Amino acid sequence: MGAKRTEITTEMLVNTVWVSTFLALILTMPALGLFMGIYFTTGHLLIGALVGFSLHFATLAFSDKISKALTRALS
């Protein structure tokens, strides 16, 4: 009936914030860099958007493994 309460330490909270921050950077920066690189070198917005969008979702498919690796590395 009553939910079991888990004590959250400051260390756990700080670790969660860092893992989330690094995961967000890993998921967004390569796709954004590729999009901007294609757009600025070729001038094709649609091609850059499609490639960046594809890369973003390809990395999103591996986000669980990346998150677990980051958690192990930062613990």
Domain ranges for the chain, please list them: 27-74
Mean pLDDT lowest among 3-7, 17-21, 40-44: 3-7
Q: Which two tokens stand for residue 27?
A: 């998921």
Predicted structure pTM score: 0.75
pLDDT surpassing 80 at residue 39: yes
pLDDT surpassing 80 at residue 5: no
Can you list the pairs that 14-18 forms with residues at least 24 positions away whose Cβ atoms lie under 8 Å?
15/71, 15/74, 15/75, 18/74
Distance of CA 39 to the CA centre of its chain: 22
pLDDT surpassing 80 at residue 2: no
pLDDT surpassing 60 at residue 31: yes
What number is the average pLDDT over the span 52-75? 92
